[in-house]
Amino acid sequence: MSNDIFASAADAILKGDSDKAVEAAQKGLGEGIDPVILINEGFIPGINTVGDLFGSGRLFLPELILSANAMQNATDVINAAIPDGQGQSRGRFIIGTVEGDVHDIGKTIVVSLLKANGFEVMDLGRDVSTDRFIEEADKFNADIIGTSALLTTTMEGQRRLEVELKKAGLKERFKTMVGGAPVTQRWAKRIGADAFAENASAAVKLAKALLEPA
């Protein structure tokens, strides 16, 4: 029976159906399925498929947002059933658009998918200074700092963060990920960022990889 619930959960996420996702979560919990297993076996495969389809251009932004919302609603139900201190967190991710840049649609999608995949995320919004990235990452005890730049003129903010982290002796403490329309793997390598994410699903996969034990 649990396999049927896992299949229903994944299908609800794939279809972006919040009501069905919540129903599957409640049914699974009602049948005594461990909350963590319910997330890992049912909902995570669904959101991973959504991320893959979006990354390959077979699923579009409106569907992605519906699926991410369905995932969020289902995980809210499941997390409420997990005793304090037993919830699973894949890691802590702080994200924002660099100083001078006010674009944030892509970043918002990344935030949704990261949350749907079990990351604790702090979204600093747009036009974020280097000092604020470092200060908030320290307070949030972040594992990864993600920066988005949508203009070639603001990409310098990503380099400045790497420089300031090194100066402060914090480069080893925080992993860094860069993204945005003009940003490339070459740029990430040049400035010393740990990863470059081309899209939201890539950001999730890379975040998981960055935090895997060596």
Question: pLDDT tens-digit profile of 62-100?
Answer: 898 899 889 888 988 887 786 655 556 789 999 999 999
22 Cβ partners below 8 Å, 6+ apart? 73, 74, 77
Instruction: Copy the structure tokens of residue 213.
Output: 């034990």
The conformation of residue 91, written as its DSSP 8-state character, comes to E
**Which residue has 């080893």 as its token pair?**
172
Name the maximum alpha-carbon separation found in the chain: 56
* Residue 152 confidence (pLDDT): 93
Determine the average pLDDT of the residues in 96-112. 83
Rounded to 5°, the CA angle 169-174-177 comes to 125
The arithmetic mean of pLDDT across residues 127-154, rounded, is 96
Percent of the chain predicted with pLDDT > 90: 61
- pLDDT per residue as tens digits for the range 158-198: 999 999 999 999 999 999 999 998 999 999 999 999 999 98
Does residue 1 surpass a pLDDT of 70? no
Q: Averaged over 100-105, what is the pLDDT?
A: 80
Q: Give the DSSP H/E element, type plus range, for residue 102.
A: none
Residue 137 pLDDT: 98
pLDDT for the residue numbered 85: 52
Backbone angles phi, psi at 104, to 5 degrees: -150, 15
